[in-house]
Structure 1
């Protein structure tokens, strides 16, 4: 019986190791395909960076997460300092200032800030769970600093990741789902204010009722909720005009009808959907995609790598990759449930949220169901910082698996 359980536990780990490495291997070929007609060829850097990431993951796998706790504040402070440095000495590209050049290598601090935020947020929530509304201030304080610094780069896509992982980690730590909905509801109000203003007549009273039923100081809570949503509805038009860049507004609107600007803001979406659709059921074959070869799709090796996957491997290839990510998330959920401590469980669920949010947003973007946000596809999109962070995340999760097994063996 013990031998069977031991064998089953080791058989599972091909998910955490095999799936990411398999995706990296395929991605290298897809990136090479996008550079067939280019004046440069650095697709192999994708594999080299992944190799470095594997080494980092192997080291972290053997490091108990509890030992990181004394260093979480310095790590978080260092990442915040690096985000501030981006504003002062950062490198600008594609209309955004997101990188720092270190020895000729462009490093994106916002990628590392996601991991630092997850670790510190997990430590805060494990020590101070949200039992009263005022307890939300601690995690909000943790997440708001990197979120703001990333948002003003501007990097709308990555800033959304911070919000998604905070809400999920709050729920996983035991916060009532009603409170999660109330935290998310101002964003919905902002959307209604810009698209369906009449819907606020129903939406705001509904949120006030939810606050009345789920929060203490019921009348005060419902009044504050109405005031917050009213203020959001008033300020949204100003934020739309002055808080976002022109290209960000175009991205948020044109995905609904990219044909309005087929040679401008809608070009990425139109070409991406054409490329994916041209792959049919089985695709044209690796290194055989003609749209990819002729570079019809801008930034295809980074944000739009899924379109190259669709053209060259077809529906079957896309389906296998999506199922692979679903299997990866299912395994991470399993690891989070069996973690030894709340801290470890929250770290794993935060990492799972970060990865899967990026997967959903990126794929929706490339198939025309969402706006262009600049979020890379984990393990597939070209990007040194993102790749290293992905494997750091993997190493932290594998550390939790390793420690859980040791506890299980000790109990036996």
Structure 2
């Protein structure tokens, strides 16, 4: 028996040594080049773009972008080694701590750029709304994996999970970040098996509000259409039809009042100025006009990194944050911009692959939630910089300057890498 144990131990050591030798020969064999390579490449380029935007400034923060990325990468690598099921047991404490920090923002928070979103802790400013996105994804994944949405009443749990941080963030007011919660909720609900018709019904009040302010006559066709969908897809048809029509009517009537009394003037300008920024070229439309000029001036190839004239002369305020895509368009041109867009699309494709191969519903939902969080920000940010959407203050992942947004994005990447690692281990590749 002793000799058998010795042979087994020796065989185990030989197997371990052979794996180590194989890793030395092929060190990148098990590294997901898409999952890690695309964000790191974007971070490297964005540091140069941020430096370009600050050439004529009296300060320089571009190197802090890379320092933050290094810290975020370290956190991501740590999370990648932690099985996600361990975090599942901590989802409620993480969520509770995050909600408490959002409440603290309302009490002792610090204001900047029109929003009270930061807490000063010993001279270090913390932005809880960024971490709230990850905390909501973790808890929502746990709720949906344990309580799938099979009836309309099952929507109460996930809606309450998202609703509390959404309200607290919206009250800061941070409209851009609050929209991310809605995108995450709808995407995760659909991935969890909720019918597409229900997703449309959940989105319908938003479209009703938009139509009531732009094309009121279209409501005569839109609201009956939502009634038909409710009748055909929901149980308790008469009750469902009554509730859906009542909600649509409420939004149609209340939207004009909320527009006048619920939003501040600068928020109103951000939402509608993209339709005709020339109405206020020196005020609310200035950002958008200059952004479009900068992107257009890049042409096909761009002016070259650190060579953009509009970027150098700082025609676009806060270009290193929300409008970094305009610097990208000017200095790398159409080809560079499309390469970044293709990179984000490839990253989303990889996340969907990881989600599809996950070993549990919880892990799959977490990856999909992360993908929804990232891609919603990408679509909204790029659209607003080229004039196809309102200015909402949403940063571009890994490209816009922002310490806590960068940390959260890398931490989210670490969670996805953990799921990928566990799925590979279950197939005997680790």
TM normalised by structure 1 equals: 0.96
Task: Report 1:246-395 matches (<5 A).
Answer: 246-395=265-414
User: What is the distance in 1 between the residues matched to 2:309 and 2:283?
Assistant: 22
Which shows bigger deviation, 56-65 or 102-111? 102-111
Q: Secondary structure in 2 aligned to 1:357?
A: helix
Aligned to 2:233: 214
**Aligned to 1:178, which of 179, 197, 202?**
197
In the TM superposition, residue 103 of structure 1 has moved relative to its aligned partner by 2.9
**Could you say which residue in structure 1 is the equivalent of 2:36?**
17
The one of 400, 403, 411 equivalent to 2:422 is 403
Establish whether residue 91 from structure 1 lines up as the match of residue 110 from structure 2.
yes
Matched-pair contact (CA < 8 Å) for 1:107–1:384: no
The CA RMSD measured in Å over matched residues stands at 1.4
- The residue number in structure 2 matching 1:56 is 75
Q: Structure 2 residue aligned with 1:30, among 34, 39, 49? A: 49
Residue 102 in structure 1 maps to residue 121 in structure 2:
yes
Give the 4+ runs in structure 1 shifted more than 4 A.
9-12
CA apart distance, 1:107: 1.7
Question: Are the aligned partners of 1:303 and 1:375 in contact in 2 as well (CA < 8 Å)?
Answer: yes
Superposed counterparts of 1:191-206, under 5 Å: 191-206=210-225
Following superposition, the deviation at residue 83 of structure 1 comes to: 0.8
Cα deviation for residue 277 of structure 1 reads 0.6
- What's the counterpart of residue 124 of structure 1? 143
CA distance in 1, matches of 2:33, 2:316: 33
The answer to whether the 8 A contact 1:279-1:311 is kept is: yes
Report how far residue 140 of structure 1 moved: 0.3
In structure 1, list runs of 5 or more residues that go unmatched: none
Q: Indicate the SS of the match to 2:117.
A: strand
Within a 5 Å distance, the mapping from 1:72-83 to structure 2 comes to 72-83=91-102
Question: How far did 1:178 drift?
Answer: 0.7
Q: How many residues align?
A: 405
Deviation at 1:11, TM superposition (A): 6.8
1:189 is aligned to 208
Please give the alpha-carbon distance, in whole angstroms, between the structure 1 residues aligned to 2:405 and 2:262.
26
3-state secondary structure, aligned to 1:280: coil
Query: What do residues 258-305 of structure 1 show as CA deviations (whole Å, max 9, x unaligned)?
Result: 000000000000000000011111111111111111100011000000
**Which structure has the larger Rg over C-alpha atoms?**
2
CA distance in 2, matches of 1:391, 1:223: 45
Say whether 1:226 aligns with 2:226: no
Matched, 1:47 2:66: yes
Q: What does the per-residue CA deviation read over 1:210-246, in whole Å, with 9 as the maximum and x for residues that have no partner?
A: 1100011111111111111111111111111111111
Cα deviation code 1:284-336 (max 9, x no counterpart): 11111111111000110000000000111111110110000000000000000
Structure 2 gaps of 5+ residues are: 1-21
Q: CA deviation at 1:10?
A: 4.2
Cα distance in 1 between the residues matched to 2:426 and 2:122 = 43
